[in-house]
């Protein structure tokens, strides 16, 4: 079935003669076969958003529908790869067309010639239902790719073969009602449809990111959702990269949506070099990259978010913990706005379409802890973390507001902190995590006292903010010694704990136990010093003990020494505070 173009306006093309096409079908436009998607139909007239530049298209050019919605190919070969917004492999495109991306390129997402070693996990005669694992492929040294029975298919295994196969080869044949169903290692799934699962659960395990302000102060659960809004230069991308690097999940899908090209290059260069502290393998081995940089066509930006989360759901269905990190969802919303404007829809707030909030909600709701399809009851989780780039850093705008309504964790970046080079520049006073209660049992079981310390630290920081108001009015001298101690402790929490340098190897990742021990030192210092101050000991003596300066440098103690070192600092601190209290000289 083919139609003819009657109008071209940027990425929007209108064609008639497409009575047989469906809304959301993928179409091929013009002699270059540009990829597009049908947004609306009026009679036999279709409005199409084209995912490539439409230069050179004019009325009369042919439009052919493929009869299928925008889909991704799912199977071995996605990890370590970099795709554009509609899952075209950028590394292979580079081999074909050099440094720039020419139009109308048609490269399959999964390599058709590469042979993967397939190891069956079921035997002929087994009864299988949708979602059951039929076998595995060691896709990278870090990840075992589990091959699933596609949704809607079940039956008894007739044959299954071990050996090296391409993604299109039949590896298994199911039999049902006398009919044979061949299975390959690849399946397709429409990106705008959620992949099904059996059941959703409340999240109860933390995602340990190795970032102190996240894990200790505002933790996110595996299967949770988080938003990182902030003005430019406040460190959104560095934070997103840090989460992609160090989170203790099995798979990371990183979506660069309308952002800088060099940031994707950075990930491409850096991740193969960095070692995942949880598996000992290079980080790239567990990473899938989706890149629609800001100079790439705007319509594909809208699709990139869905492409990314569908791939993530597929890995979740294997029973993995997956994190989707999207930078930035604002660019995605702007792409929606641009298409909406060209479709001449009635604008909502700030020109965004009225369906903006529901689209954002749909995206984040695809996160969660689930019991996967299949008979074995395995669980997977999908965590969604999105950056938001509010114009002028003002989060009263529609994208930030719609995102905050749906996400449970809010890491608010602050330009004042960034100017003072306090990184990560997450403002501890306005950020929040609604997972604290869900995660409390886990923390209490593994690190008794963790939450108490955390709450104590938060109240000290809150009190610091109040005291600073007074200091600004009447000066620090007017504060009582215990209040001045609060300021000193708050400074320790800020500088010695919350500040974390992503560009220093030792500091870029901090395991949860280490965070716990470090916070313990600070809180204990506060407690002991407070008791001493109450007994009339001079504050000056207490804050000048050598152990306090050691706490200040504790971040840089190598990972294999910190336990002994922190224990020792603790002992020194207790002794020195005691000596200071007795009026003795520092030892």
Partner 1 sequence: MIKEYKTIHEIASPLMIVEQVEGVTYDELCEIQLPDGSLRRGKVLEVNGDKAVIQLYESAAGINLAESKVRFLGHPLELAVSEDMLGRVFNGMGQPIDGGPEILAEAHLDINGLPMNPAARAYPAEFIQTGVSTIDGLNTLVRGQKLPIFSGSGLPHANLAAQIARQAKVPGDEGKFAVVFAAIGITFEESEFFVQEFKRTGAIDRTVMFSNLADEPAVERISTPRMALTAAEYLAFEKDMHVLVILTDITNYAEALREISAAKKEVPGRRGYPGYLYTDLATMYERAGRRLGKPGSITMIPILTMPEDDKTHPIPDLTGYITEGQIILSRELHRKGIVPPVDVLPSLSRLKDKGIGAGKTREDHAGVLNQLFAAYAAGKDAKELMTILGESALSETDKHYAAFAEAFEQKYVNQGNEVDRSIEETLTIGWELLRMLPRSELKRIKPEYIEKYLPEK
Residue 351 is a binding residue for partner 1 (CB under 8 A): yes
The closest alpha carbon to 243, from 280, 218, 261, 260, belongs to 218
Binds partner 1 by CB under 8 A, chosen from 27, 172, 174, 264: 264
Question: Sign (positive/negative) of CA torsion 130, 135, 140, 141?
Answer: positive
Report d(CA 525, CA 576) in Å as an integer: 11
Binds partner 1 by CB under 8 A, chosen from 113, 123, 178, 503: 503
Binding to partner 1 in span 558-587, by CB under 8 A: none
Measured from the CB atom, is 152 or 475 closer to partner 1?
475
Contact 405, 357 (CB under 8 A): yes
Binding to partner 1 in span 372-391, by CB under 8 A: 389, 391
Binds partner 1 by CB under 8 A, chosen from 25, 80, 317, 338: 338
Residue 501 is a binding residue for partner 1 (CB under 8 A): yes
Binds partner 1 by CB under 8 A, chosen from 273, 396, 472, 560: 472
Measured from the CB atom, is 231 or 319 closer to partner 1?
231
Measured from the CB atom, is 334 or 526 closer to partner 1?
334
Report in angstroms the alpha-carbon separations of 572 from 528, 545, 549: 13, 9, 11
Q: How far is the CB of 237 from partner 1 (least distance, A)?
A: 8
Q: Which stretch binds partner 1 (CB under 8 A): 1-9, 72-80, 143-151, 442-450?
A: 1-9
The closest alpha carbon to 360, from 458, 257, 431, 235, belongs to 257
Measured from the CB atom, is 352 or 443 closer to partner 1?
352
Q: Which stretch binds partner 1 (CB under 8 A): 6-14, 111-119, 245-253, 448-456?
A: 6-14
Binds partner 1 by CB under 8 A, chosen from 80, 250, 327, 334: 334
Binds partner 1 by CB under 8 A, chosen from 471, 513, 530, 579: 471
Measured from the CB atom, is 119 or 421 closer to partner 1?
421
Angle between helices 481-492 and 512-534 (to 10 degrees): 170
Q: Would you give the binding string for partner 1 spanning residues 388-427, x where CB under 8 A is met? A: -x-xxxx--------------------x--xxxxx-----
Binds partner 1 by CB under 8 A, chosen from 552, 561, 563, 567: 552
Encode 284-350 in three state secondary structure. Answer: HHHEEEEEECCCCCHHHHHHHHHHHHHHHHHHHHCCCEEEEEEECHHHHHHHHHHHHHHCCCCECHH
Measured from the CB atom, is 22 or 556 closer to partner 1?
556
Report d(CA 251, CA 266) in Å as an integer: 19
Binding to partner 1 in span 9-48, by CB under 8 A: 9-10, 14
3-state secondary structure of 26: strand
Q: How far is the CB of 547 from partner 1 (least distance, A)?
A: 13
Non-local CB neighbours of 564 within 8 Å, separated by 6+ positions: none
State the first-to-last Cα distance of the chain, in angstroms, to the nearest integer. 88
Q: Which stretch binds partner 1 (CB under 8 A): 133-141, 196-204, 259-267, 531-539?
A: 259-267
Residue 527 is a binding residue for partner 1 (CB under 8 A): no
Encode 119-186 in three state secondary structure. Answer: EECCCCCCEECCCCEEEEEECCCCCEEEEECCCCCCEEEEEECCEEECCCCCCEEEEECCEEEEECCC
Measured from the CB atom, is 393 or 449 closer to partner 1?
393
Q: Would you give the binding string for partner 1 spanning residues 121-160, x where CB under 8 A is met? A: ----------------------------------------
Binding to partner 1 in span 66-125, by CB under 8 A: 82, 90-91, 93-94, 97-102
Binds partner 1 by CB under 8 A, chosen from 42, 43, 55, 445: 55
Angle between helices 450-474 and 436-446 (to 10 degrees): 120
Binding to partner 1 in span 176-205, by CB under 8 A: none
Sheet holding 172-176, edge to edge: 127-128, 155-160, 172-176, 179-183
* 532 alpha-carbon distance from chain centroid: 45
Report d(CA 6, CA 15) in Å as an integer: 5
Q: Which stretch binds partner 1 (CB under 8 A): 36-44, 215-223, 258-266, 451-459?
A: 258-266
Measured from the CB atom, is 72 or 339 closer to partner 1?
339
Element (H, E) at 108: none
Residue for token digits 């047989």? 20
Number of chain positions touching partner 1 (CB under 8 A) = 78
Residue for token digits 């706490």? 551
Binding to partner 1 in span 266-285, by CB under 8 A: 266, 268-269
Q: Which stretch binds partner 1 (CB under 8 A): 200-208, 239-247, 376-384, 469-477?
A: 469-477
Measured from the CB atom, is 339 or 369 closer to partner 1?
339
Contact 273, 346 (CB under 8 A): no
Measured from the CB atom, is 195 or 236 closer to partner 1?
236
| DSSP structural state of residue 351 | G
Q: Which stretch binds partner 1 (CB under 8 A): 72-80, 159-167, 209-217, 291-299?
A: 291-299
């Amino acid at each position: 079935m083919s139609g003819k173009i009657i109008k071209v306006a940027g990425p929007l093309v209108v064609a008639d003669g497409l009575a047989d096409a469906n809304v959301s079908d993928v179409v091929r436009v013009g002699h270059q076969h540009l990829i597009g998607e049908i947004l609306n139909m009026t009679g036999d007239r279709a409005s199409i958003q084209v995912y490539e530049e439409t230069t050179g298209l004019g009325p009369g050019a042919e439009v052919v529908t493929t009869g299928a919605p925008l889909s991704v190919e799912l199977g071995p070969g996605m990890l370590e790869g970099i795709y554009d917004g509609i899952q075209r492999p950028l590394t292979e495109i580079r081999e074909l067309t050099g440094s720039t991306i020419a139009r109308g390129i048609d490269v399959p997402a999964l390599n058709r010639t590469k042979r993967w070693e397939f190891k069956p996990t079921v035997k002929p005669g087994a009864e299988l239902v949708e979602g059951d694992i039929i076998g595995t492929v060691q896709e990278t040294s870090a990840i075992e790719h589990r091959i699933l029975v596609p949704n809607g298919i079940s039956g008894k295994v007739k044959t299954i073969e071990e050996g090296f196969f391409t993604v299109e080869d039949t590896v298994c044949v199911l039999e049902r009602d006398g009919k044979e169903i061949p299975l390959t290692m690849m399946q397709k799934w429409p990106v705008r449809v959620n992949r099904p699962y059996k059941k959703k659960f409340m999240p109860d395990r933390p995602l340990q990111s190795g970032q102190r302000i996240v894990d200790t102060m505002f933790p996110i659960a595996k299967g949770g959702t988080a938003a990182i809004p902030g003005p430019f230069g406040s460190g959104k991308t560095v934070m997103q990269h840090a989460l992609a690097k160090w989170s203790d999940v099995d798979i990371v899908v990183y979506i660069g949506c309308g952002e800088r090209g060099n940031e994707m290059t950075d990930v491409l260069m850096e991740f193969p070099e960095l070692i995942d502290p949880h598996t000992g393998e290079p980080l790239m081995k567990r990473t899938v990259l989706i890149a629609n940089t800001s100079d790439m066509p705007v319509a594909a930006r809208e699709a990139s978010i869905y492409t990314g989360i569908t791939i993530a759901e597929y890995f979740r269905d294997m029973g993995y913990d997956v994190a989707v990190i999207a930078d930035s969802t604002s660019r995605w919303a702007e792409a929606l706005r641009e298409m909406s404007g060209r479709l001449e829809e009635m604008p909502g707030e700030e020109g965004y379409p009225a369906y903006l909030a529901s689209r954002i909600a749909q995206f984040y709701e695809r996160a969660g802890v689930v019991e996967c399809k299949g008979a074995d009851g395995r669980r997977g989780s999908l965590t969604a973390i999105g950056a938001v780039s509010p114009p002028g850093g003002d989060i009263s705008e529609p994208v930030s507001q719609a995102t905050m309504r749906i996400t449970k964790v809010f890491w608010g970046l602050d330009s004042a902190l960034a100017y003072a080079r306090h990184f990560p520049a997450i403002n501890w006073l306005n950020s929040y995590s609604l997972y604290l209660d869900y995660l409390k049992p886990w923390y209490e079981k593994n690190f008794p006292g963790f939450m108490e310390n955390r709450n104590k630290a938060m109240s000290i920081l809150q009190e610091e903010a109040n005291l600073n108001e007074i200091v600004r009015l009447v000066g620090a001298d007017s504060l009582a010694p215990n209040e001045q101690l609060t300021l000193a402790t708050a400074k320790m929490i800020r500088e010695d704990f919350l500040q974390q340098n992503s560009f220093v190897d030792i500091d870029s990742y901090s395991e949860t136990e280490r965070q716990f021990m470090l916070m313990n030192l600070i809180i204990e210092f506060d407690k002991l010093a407070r008791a001493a101050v109450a007994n009339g000991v001079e504050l000056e003596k207490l804050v000048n003990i050598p152990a306090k300066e050691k706490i200040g440098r504790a971040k840089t103690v190598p990972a294999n020494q910190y336990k002994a070192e922190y224990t020792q600092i603790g002992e020194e601190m207790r002794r020195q505070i005691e000596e200071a209290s007795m009026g003795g000289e520092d030892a």
